[in-house]
Amino acid sequence: MKPSVKELFEKYRNNLYAAAFNICGNAADAEDVVQDTFIQYYLLKKEFDNEQHIRAWLIRVAINKAKNTNRTFWRRNKVPLEEYIETLTFETPESEELFETVMKLPEKYRIVIHLFYYEDYTLHEIADILRITESNVKVRLSRGRGMLKETLREEWEDDE
């Protein structure tokens, strides 16, 4: 007995997601675990005895994959932004505040601003690194600066 992936996905995805989420504590990782579990089922050349055997196998695989996700190098060595910032040295409190604000920007703006201001790359070099057009780099820089300006203005107004 080997039902189709689509059939099993409709039937068990919520159960597998719940089991994975309980272990990972993260929605994105739990979704990845569910997807990887169904990929493994699809690639499996084994026939199952009955529906309960399939369900038990899927849950066992999902739990093991979730545990493996928690054991990855990245998850074990992840450091909160606040702890990372404490390891850095800044010339002034303002430069530390600016760096924290940059790090809180959405990733596509944060990367461009970091490469331009902290690593001193040119627009052309950033475009090559990120594999985007120079005009896209300019747009991201402009939008990132706007976000920084707005965020810092709010913080400075709150201090007054």
The answer to whether residue 157 scores a pLDDT higher than 80 is no
pLDDT tens digits for range 55-99 = 999 999 999 999 998 887 766 666 666 666 666 677 888 787 888
Q: What share of the chain is helix, strand, coil (3-state, %, to 5)?
A: 80, 0, 20
Residue with tokens 């309980």: 22
The answer to whether residue 155 scores a pLDDT higher than 90 is no
Reply yes or no on domain 81-159 having CATH 3.30.1360.30. no
* Residue ranges of domains in the chain: 5-75, 81-159
Please report the DSSP string for 69-91 in residue order. HHTSHHHHT---HHHHHHHS--S
CATH code, 5-75: 1.10.1740.10
Q: What is the pLDDT of residue 104?
A: 84
